Amino acid sequence: MDKRYRLRIKDKFSAAHSLRNYEGSCENVHGHNFGVEIEVYGYSLEKDTEILIDFKVLKRKLKNILMDLDHKFLNELDFFRVNNPSSENIAKFIFFKLKETLPQNISLSYVMVSESDNSQAFYEEV
């Protein structure tokens, strides 16, 4: 039986966006206080510390990505000029940016972006 270790962290950012090709109020510029949750996993711990990755390090990696989104109009960012700034695509954006920063022995399970407590979008590779 394989065993793995999983870590989850949460953060948030505020941003505005408008959805293209959408019929409804979300086509207008509006903002959210987005919640973000990520989960990473690995199969072995560091020998000296017996941790997968320091929570502080993981939080800093996520915070660095969210700083590029915080208090921005997402439609003006390069990625969202091509991709509609939906919660699904925001999760995808964070996923690929974060994945680039992780050590080889750590994998990213998913990124979840929430517009509210009742509305969440996930991006994961399966």
Ranges of each domain in the chain: 7-18+39-123
Helix (H), strand (E), coil (C) string for 38-99: EEEEECCCCCCCCCCCCHHHHHHHHHHHHHCCCCEEHHHCHHHHHCCCCHHHHHHHHHHHHH
Q: Which CATH class is domain 7-18+39-123?
A: alpha beta
- Global pTM reads 0.96
At residue 79, φ and ψ (nearest 5 deg) are -60, -40
In tens, the pLDDT along 9-33 reads: 999 999 999 999 999 999 999 999 9
Between CA 91 and CA 112 the distance in angstroms is: 6
Q: Which of 103, 33, 104, 92 is nearest to 65 (CA)?
A: 92
In tens, the pLDDT along 45-96 reads: 999 999 999 999 999 999 999 999 999 999 999 999 999 999 999 999 999 9
Count each helix (H run) and each strand (E run) in the chain, helices first.
Answer: 3, 5
- pLDDT of 2 reads 85
Task: Provide the pLDDT confidence category of residue 1 given band limits of 50, 70 and 90.
Answer: confident
Which residues does the annotation mark as catalytic? Answer: 26, 71, 115
